[in-house]
Amino acid sequence: MADGPVTTKELLGVDTSDIMRELLTRAKLYVLFEAQQIGRREPSGATAGTLLYAASLLPGISDAELRPYFEELESLISRHGSVELPAEYQVTVETNWTDAWCLAAMLQRPRLASTESINRLAASLLERQELSGGWGLRPDRPGRPHPLFCMPVTIAIRGLNRWQAERSPLVTAAATNLGSYLRRPATEPVLVRVLREAQLRLLGAPPRPAMLDELHAATWQGGDLHLQSVELGRDDQPLWYTTIDRALMIMATRHLWPVLDPVNVRLGGELLDGFEPGRGGWRNHVTDSSICTWRTAESLLAVQFLARDLNKIGATLESWRSRIEEAMTLRSTEGFDVGISFSSQQRDIAAAIRKKLREAGLTVFYDEDYQHELLGEDLTVYLHDTYFRRCRYAIAVLSADFIRSKWSGVLEWRAILTRLQEVRGNFLLPYYIDDVEVPGLSPAIGYLHMRTHSPEQFANVVIRKILGQQSRQV
């Protein structure tokens, strides 16, 4: 099955639907599910919503299996449109977090819930939107919105737009105001900024290339992942969710960058490494002794998405594993998959190649993307180090202008030739614009010419070489 579709069982060692069935059984309380630690008998409406939302997205879980749980969930929706826990649990706090996840779950499989219940829960949740356009954890604490608490609302709004035959003005207004909140400049950790941008994609906002490039530069630095988990104030949310976990951020970053981008590769690897097969799930934190209900549910969903994303581009399990190893190599060299050396006269050509390579998930050294590193550096040292040590491959856009340039034709070319001699081939990827003789370049090295391959077609060939994929898949 090496060349067949990637399955969650291949990634995890066990089918996600089987783990979900066990989780639904193990974490079940009277009506609700346990918040975090199985066996502690601590109820949580938010966990119920998260668990059922994740289960609803797993193709192996049938309607018949979920129907009893959805019936119980509907029984908890009060007359004023919020999920309320049974009196015996002695928990009366109303949370936007709970209602949003429960609404998202019902919208994922609306045939298992009544239209009246969905409308009542949706109207109540949307009416609690704050003037800022965001949502906080609890409606009794206004003025404290956070992108984390907006995430399930964003998912629910997307579900409402898909469910309704005609878009409701209330839903449209809520989405518009939420988008305004998410676009507001804020001094926040990179992880929270990633959350904001991912939600804008979920709302259908067009990509913001400059913002995505800036976030990627802040997230992937020197061949390593700089995306630290974020601690939230304990007075703002449940004690068991004080940390926005880094590994689960793949649920957000998959909307921003390709599945084979080093950011997603590293996060996906961390996600899979966190699974404990002997215990059937994930812990909330490395210091915890028990398997966490909600974290296992979200992690199962993330694994399902990972398999789906890999299959969408036709990647194999072997190419995924190879990419994980390559990401580790990039960290050891503080490097890039490929660097592009070119004359300024061919910048448009280089930019087109760079765009295509980035869309496939390759890390690319392209000078304009790294002006923050180039500023103030001794460029003779920096550029030599980049092309000689940090790049796995080097693309040279060869032309008369390239040869005349003191940067590409002298400094960068010397570094490329030195590296080429050291590795004895399989490093330089020549792309000719003119019919020129390039000093020091062996005629035995394979090349492509712009006469036969456009910049985009050349980039596709490079992608196939580096990632081993077909051009139609990237």
Domains of the chain listed by start with CATH number: 8-321 (1.50.10.20), 335-473 (3.40.50.10140)
149 has a pLDDT exceeding 60: yes
Rounded average pLDDT over 261-285: 91
For the segment 250-272, what is each residue's pLDDT rounded down to a tens digit? 999 999 999 999 999 999 999 99
Cβ contact 231:131 at 8 Å: no
Vertex 71 angle, CA 69 and 76, to 5°:
100
**For 223, which DSSP code?**
T
Structure tokens at 19: 């783990």
For the segment 173-232, what is each residue's pLDDT rounded down to a tens digit? 999 999 999 999 878 899 999 999 999 999 999 988 889 988 998 898 878 888 888 877
Alpha-carbon radius of gyration of the chain: 25
For the segment 58-80, what is each residue's pLDDT rounded down to a tens digit? 999 999 999 999 999 999 999 88
User: If you write DSSP's letter for every residue of 378-433 in order, what string do you get?
Assistant: -HHHHHHHIIIIIEEEEEEEESHHHHH-TIIIIIIHHHHHHHHHHHTSSSEEEEES
pTM score, two decimals?
Answer: 0.86
pLDDT for res 18: 95
User: If you write DSSP's letter for every residue of 431-472 in order, what string do you get?
Assistant: EESS--PPTT--TTS--EETTT--HHHHHHHHHHHHH---GG
3 has a pLDDT exceeding 80: no
Residue in this structure with the two tokens 């954890």, named with its chain if needed:
137
pLDDT for res 471: 37
Closest CA to 16 of 43, 50, 64, 54: 54
pLDDT for res 167: 82
Residue in this structure with the two tokens 């994929």, named with its chain if needed:
469
Structure tokens at 365: 């050294």
Vertex 300 angle, CA 298 and 305, to 5°:
95
